[in-house]
């Protein structure tokens, strides 16, 4: 009787050991899954904080651009005297100067665009003329090649020299028009205020 019971206890003991190992394996798998999830949460948190910082910086920058008026924070203020009046007059003068500067830069940009369009049109015409000259040059060069081979076969001197591209007077493309020095300064200032 005892031997049977000892055999059963060993079988039961072995089953418990196997169950314990299986449980430890499952726990180990869950532990690694949990570590992976925690790492994902940490990375997502870092990304979210960075994105929030960038968005906050953009919003701050936008709000600073809008508030060009003196005392433009929306809160009530009580001012009297010449100092406030001078600030208001100066602010209005600066706004008018900025508007005039923007308009002047716009006119200069439009004039520059017209100038560049005319330059492009002239260069296109020159390209077309050069293409026509290249076609004539290629035909003359081919005729010369035929003459060269014929002269070689007949063992005689060639009748004319090899044509050269420079003899066809190719036109040189015009250089891009330069900006004026004051336009450069205005465009630099305009990019800061626009």
pLDDT at 193 over 50: no
- Read off the pLDDT of each residue in 170-178 and give the average, rounded to a whole number: 85
pTM beyond 0.85: the answer is no
pLDDT at 18 over 80: yes
- Are 107 and 190 in contact by the 8 Å Cβ rule? The answer is no
Rounded (10°) angle between helices 181-193 and 82-154? 120
pLDDT score of 156 = 86
- Read off the pLDDT of each residue in 96-120 and give the average, rounded to a whole number: 94
Pick the more confident residue, 190 or 100.
100
pLDDT score of 122 = 93
- Closest of 121, 122, 127, 119 to residue 170, by C-alpha: 127
Per the prediction, the chain carries an average pLDDT of 83
Tokens 């308009």 sit on residue: 103
- Read off the pLDDT of each residue in 150-172 and give the average, rounded to a whole number: 86
C-alpha–C-alpha distance, residues 35 and 115, integer Å:
66
C-alpha–C-alpha distance, residues 86 and 92, integer Å:
10
**157 membership: H or E segment, kind and range:** none
pLDDT score of 81 = 73
Pick the more confident residue, 60 or 114.
114
DSSP SS3 for 1? coil
**Confidence band for 1, pLDDT divided at 50, 70 and 90:** very low
pLDDT at 48 over 70: yes
Pick the more confident residue, 170 or 124.
124
- Are 144 and 162 in contact by the 8 Å Cβ rule? The answer is yes
């Amino acid at each position: 009787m005892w031997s049977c019971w000892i055999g059963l206890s060993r079988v039961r003991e072995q089953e418990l050991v196997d169950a314990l190992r299986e449980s430890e394996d499952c726990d180990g798998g869950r532990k690694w899954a949990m570590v992976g999830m925690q790492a994902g949460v940490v990375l997502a948190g870092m990304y979210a904080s960075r994105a929030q910082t960038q968005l906050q910086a953009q919003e701050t920058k936008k709000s600073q651009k809008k508030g060009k008026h003196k005392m433009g924070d929306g809160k009530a203020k009580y001012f009297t005297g010449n100092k406030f009046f001078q600030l208001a007059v100066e602010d209005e003068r600066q706004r008018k100067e900025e508007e005039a500067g923007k308009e002047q830069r716009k006119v200069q940009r439009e004039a520059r665009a017209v100038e560049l369009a005319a330059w492009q049109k002239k260069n296109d015409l020159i390209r077309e003329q050069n293409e026509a000259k290249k076609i004539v040059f290629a035909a003359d060069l081919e005729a010369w090649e035929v003459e060269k081979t014929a002269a070689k076969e007949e063992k005689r001197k060639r009748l004319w020299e090899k044509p050269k591209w420079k003899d066809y007077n190719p036109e040189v493309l015009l250089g891009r028009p330069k900006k004026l020095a004051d336009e450069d300064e205005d465009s630099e200032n305009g990019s800061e205020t626009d």
